[in-house]
Chains A and B, each alone.
Chain A
Amino acid sequence: MTLRDETADDSPRSWVRAVLYDATIRGWVFQGLVLVFLVLFAAWIIHNTAVNLHAANIPFGFDFLNMRAGFDISQKPIAYTLDSSHLQAFKVGLLNTIILSVLGIFFATIIGFVVGVSRLSSNWLLARAATVYVETLRNVPLLLQLLFWYKAVLSVLPGPRQGYMLPLSINLSNRGLTMPRPIIGEGFEIVLWTVPVAAAVAWAVARWAKRRQVATGQSFPVFRASLGIIIGVPIVVFLALGAPLTFELPELKGFNFVGGMVVHPELTAMLFGISLYTATFIAETVRAGILAVSAGQSEAAFSLGLRPSQTMRLIVVPQAMRVIIPPLTSQYLNLTKNSSLALAIGYPDLVAVFAGSTLNITGHAIEVIAITMAVYLVLSLITAALMNWFNARVALVER
């Protein structure tokens, strides 16, 4: 808003005053000053760092990324050997962080929603159990929980030679869950292609069911039908092609299993700890979201004859989601950042591999920490962007 004297004359002095008191111009000037100050401050820090590094005889640069890493990483989702570069080690660490974060978010969301709804349940035992769970796990530091789960997992399980033999050549020991590794045969990609086709069919069925319900009022079990289509069609195609998939069985050779696929106890312990911890916060968010929907909504739904489960699914949750999603985003970001605690229990995440081993071997602390911070920033921004997009979709449409 501009505050200008309507009766002012056109003399130069009043022109200067007009500029000085113009809120828009003043805003620009101050923002410009702040920007200049920030740039100068950044330049000062960078200059200072460069001078100090030089004075201390420490080379600065990113060439070290191409050097041979020469250390082993226990969980390798992509090709990595002792002769790979630090850049490859960085990628392995990054992928391990992403694997942990995505799985953690998946489990935490499911547990969080179930517990959040349970806390509001009319079943006394269920509601109390949910309350106890939330209040205990929420108030114990995550690091302690991780150490607890790691010790619990390791101390319960026997050594690889005495491991529990489960069906399908699956073995459970303190070296992890060893499973057969699928080896993809010829024609398997056709099976993969049927998945999107089946999904499209399921979508069409859902649309048809909705239109029919609007027209005739008859409901159709959309969820079960879609699930059947999406899972059933690829299986039929897979069998029709003669099951083009073989498995490499893990074999106990020497001390450990050779071949197959392993879920290390570090990942298991991390998932337990981080999912159960974050789920408590998500549960509270869900509870708050549901409570934010006025009771009249449920009462109205009941009076229309909807069952409690239908009321929850069709009336309450969609409205609650608008309240839930923004704080849920924060919890997802927290989970991603908390995954860096992994190095305490030997899970090779980005911080353990890159900001740990690589940093120490190369000594390029400033570069490595800068890259690591940038990665977490980018991961957080991507998560926030996805959630904002989702939020915009469920937000209340105001007309």
Chain B
Amino acid sequence: MRSNTFKTLLLGAAFVGAGAVAASAGTLDEVKAKGFVQCGVNGTGLAGFGAPDDAGNWKGLDVDACRAVAAAVFGDPSKVKFTGLSAKERFTALQSKEIDMLARNSTATMSRDTQLGITFTGINYYDGQGFMVKKSLGVSSAKDLNGASVCVQSGTTTELNLADYFKSNGLTFNAVVFEKQEEADAAYDAGRCDAYTTDASGLYSIRLKMTKPDDSLVLPEIISKEPLGPAVRQGDDQWESVVRWSHYAMLTAEEFGVTQANVDEMKKSENPEIQRLLGVGEGVDFGTPIGLNKDWAYSIIKGVGNYGESFERNVGAGSPLKIARGLNALWSKGGLQYAPPIR
């Protein structure tokens, strides 16, 4: 859309001008000074990850990542302002300091990590790219999609994986590329494409929005690794630590059974792991060294809950998406979610 290109230009201009006010203060100090975290999330609304609900409140796994950081910094998960971003705008928005952190189901890749001036702070959702097709096509595998028209969103790793997958399997295809996810959704719904491709989690979310959700099915093949996670600007180690450990605190809380409901009770726990997490006890303080309060992790769990709670509420059994934990289960339960110890 033109407005987006214009926004990109504005961001570029802001970026150019940023040197004039070359701020020496770190992002954490800036965030504390303005009183809220400016967080970039999915602008077109990806239910379960980042989308406003009926009352206009942002909800989702990525939204919770932002709220966790706000809770860690201010002790209040509501001290966060959201910027809805398209796939195209997201990294420029971060580079140009329009946002303090990005949590927009973005895939961590080497080139993004090394060439965009940004750093991924962790993986809050292990995903993979899949395909959705209309049941009427009678297709049961992605290998049957030779010659298909595929709807895809531009500016995503998805667009490249799609091409690689068809090429490596000796299949031909025709990509119909849209800038906004909602436009790609509508085109698929209207029958412009045979298949729709994006991250598998996204497919389940998008399927709910179709006029007849039951007419579409998600094919079994997962054709790529899509580790999704929040990102910050490179070169601000303190802020990077704050965002990184906010995620780890939620994982650690789940691992030791600390929940939003029992966190006050858990303060009395004799378990030293839990004491270190909650900042309880003499000289136990992991917050101050990274510029936070002693009870930073307590605030996160009290305000947002642990990772498992956030997962179930947003994308798991407690949500319309009903996605199984799968790879996103804790390491101790056969998944990949693993936090380094707090000690």
* A binding-site residues for B, Cβ under 8 Å: 45, 48-49, 51-52, 55-59, 70-74, 82, 143, 150-151, 154-155, 159, 174-175, 253-256, 258, 265-266, 340-341, 343-346, 348, 351-353, 355-357, 359-361, 363, 365-366, 369
Query: CB distance B233 to A255 under 8 Å?
Result: no
| Residues A365 and B12 in contact in the complex (CB < 8 Å), given A82-B163, A340-B2 | yes
Q: Using A154-B187, A159-B191, A363-B116 as known contacts, list a sample of 20 further A-B pairs with CB atoms less than 8 Å apart, ordered by residue number in A.
A: A49-B19, A52-B16, A57-B115, A71-B175, A74-B149, A74-B175, A74-B176, A151-B186, A253-B147, A255-B147, A343-B1, A343-B179, A344-B180, A353-B177, A356-B179, A357-B159, A357-B177, A359-B155, A360-B88, A363-B91
Check B55 for interface membership: any CB of A closer than 8 A.
no
Shortest Cβ gap from B3 to chain A (Å) = 9
Residue of A nearest to B178 (CB): A346
- Report yes or no: B1 in contact with A344, Cβ–Cβ below 8 A: yes
Complex interface bits, B260-283 against A, C-beta within 8 A gives 1, otherwise 0? 000000000000000000000000
Collect the chain B residues with CB atoms within 8 Å of residue A355's CB. Answer: 5, 8
Residues of the A chain whose Cβ atoms lie less than 8 Å from the Cβ of B176: 74, 266, 346
User: In angstroms, how far is the closest chain B Cβ from the Cβ of A98?
Assistant: 18
Rounded to whole angstroms, the CA-CA distance of A352 and B2 in the bound complex is 10
Alpha-carbon distance A353/B155, docked complex (angstroms): 9
Given contacts A58-B95, A360-B155, contact A72 B190 (CB under 8 A): no
Q: How near does chain B come to A333, taking the closest CB pair, in angstroms?
A: 15
Q: Would A359 and B88 be within 8 Å (CB), given that A256-B194, A348-B177, A369-B12 are in contact?
A: yes
Nearest-CB residue, chain A, relative to B119: A57
B116 close to A48 (CB less than 8 A): no
Nearest opposing residue in chain B for A45, CB measure: B16
User: Is the pair A254, B88 in contact by a Cβ cutoff of 8 Å?
Assistant: no
Contact mask for chain B residues 39-67; partner A; CB cutoff 8 A; 1 contact, 0 none:
00000000000000000000000000000
Query: In the complex, which of the residues A59, A72, A154, A353 contacts B115, with contact meaning CB atoms closer than 8 Å?
Result: A59
- Shortest beta-carbon distance, A231 to chain B, in Å? 35
- In the docked arrangement, what's the CA distance between A387 and B111, Å? 46
Contact between B191 and A174, CB atoms less than 8 A apart: yes
> Is B331 among interface residues, defined by CB-CB distance under 8 A?
no
B234 within 8 A of A: yes
Please report the C-alpha to C-alpha distance between residue A31 and residue B13 in the assembled complex, in whole angstroms.
27
7 A-B residue pairings within 8 Å (CB atoms): A56-B235, A74-B175, A253-B147, A255-B137, A341-B1, A344-B183, A352-B177
Q: Please, which residues of chain B bring their CB within 8 A of the CB of A357?
A: 154-155, 159, 177
Contact A74 B160 (CB under 8 A): no
The answer to the question of B173 belonging to the interface, with a C-beta cut-off of 8 Å to chain A, is yes
Q: Is B190 touching A356 in the complex (CB atoms < 8 A)? A: no
Pick the contact of B192: A175, A359, A363 (CB < 8 A). A175
List residues of chain A with CB within 8 A of the CB of B9. 369
Q: A254-B148, A256-B194 are in contact. Are A340 and B5 (CB under 8 A)?
A: yes
Q: 10 closest pairs, A vs B, by CB?
A: A360-B155, A72-B175, A56-B117, A48-B19, A154-B190, A356-B154, A254-B147, A57-B117, A58-B117, A343-B179
Chain A at the B interface: SS class? helix
Q: Give chain B residues whose Cβ lies under 8 Å from the Cβ of A366.
A: 12, 15
Say yes or no for B167: interface residue by CB 8 A criterion. yes
Q: Are B190 and A174 in contact (CB under 8 A)?
A: yes
Give the complex CA separation of A64 and B92 in angstroms. Answer: 18
Cα-based distance from A344 to B112 in the complex (angstroms):
25
* Chain B residue contacts of A363, Cβ below 8 A: 91, 111-112, 115-116
Flag if A356 contacts B177 (CB, 8 Å): yes
- Taking a contact as CB atoms closer than 8 A, the residue among A56, A57, A150, A352 that contacts B179 in the complex is A352
Check if B177 sits within 8 Å of A346, measured CB to CB: yes
Q: Is B102 an interface residue (CB 8 A)?
A: no
Tell me which residues across on chain B come within 8 A of A266, comparing CB atoms.
Answer: 176
Closest to B116 in A: A363
In the complex, what's the smallest C-beta–C-beta distance from B87 to chain A, in angstroms? Answer: 7
Question: Which chain B residues numbered 9 to 26 have a C-beta less than 8 Å away from chain A?
Answer: 9, 11-12, 15-20
Specify which of A59, A255, A360, A365 is in contact with B149 (CB 8 Å cutoff): A255
A256-B16 in contact (CB<8A): no
Contacts A48-B16, A59-B115, A355-B5 hold; do A74 and B179 have CB atoms under 8 A apart? no
Query: CA of A151 to CA of B177 in the docked complex: distance in angstroms?
Result: 16
CB distance from B243 to the nearest CB of A (A): 17
**Do B155 and A356 touch (CB < 8 A)?**
yes
Q: Does B68 contact A (CB under 8 A)?
A: no
**Is B175 in contact with A51, judged by CB distance below 8 angstroms?**
no
Distance to closest chain B CB from A334 (angstroms): 12
CB distance from A253 to the nearest CB of B (A): 6
Q: Are A49 and B16 in contact (CB under 8 A)?
A: yes
Query: Once the chains are docked, how many angstroms separate the CA of A361 from the CA of B163?
Result: 13
Specify which chain A residues have a CB less than 8 angstroms from the CB of B233 in the assembled complex. Answer: 56
Contacts of A72 in B (CB 8 A): 162-163, 173-175, 177
CB distance from A265 to the nearest CB of B (A): 7
* B141 surroundings in chain A (CB, below 8 A): none
Tell me the bound Cα distance from A51 to B17 in angstroms: 11
- Assembled-state Cα–Cα distance A59/B95 (Å): 13
Q: Are B192 and A82 in contact (CB under 8 A)?
A: no
B215 interface residue (CB < 8 Å to A)? no
Q: How far is the CB of B307 from chain A (nearest CB, A)?
A: 29
Please give the distance in Å from B233's CB to the nearest CB on chain A.
7
- Interface flag for B221 (CB, 8 Å): no
* Cα distance A351–B87 in the bound complex, in angstroms: 15
> Which residues B53-99 have CB closer than 8 A to chain A?
87-88, 91-92, 95
Q: How far is the CB of B46 from chain A (nearest CB, A)?
A: 17
When the two chains form the complex, which single residue of B16, B17, B92, B177 contacts A74, counting CB atoms closer than 8 Å? Answer: B177
Taken together as a complex, chains A and B put the C-alpha atoms of A355 and B184 apart, in Å, by 18
Contact check, B2 vs A174: say whether CB atoms are below 8 A apart: no
Interface hub of A73, A155, A369 (most chain B Cβ within 10 A): A369
For B191, list chain A residues within 8 Å (CB). 154, 159, 174
Closest-CB distance, B163 to chain A (whole angstroms): 5
The minimal Cβ–Cβ distance linking B178 to chain A, given in whole angstroms, is 5
Distance to closest chain B CB from A119 (angstroms): 30
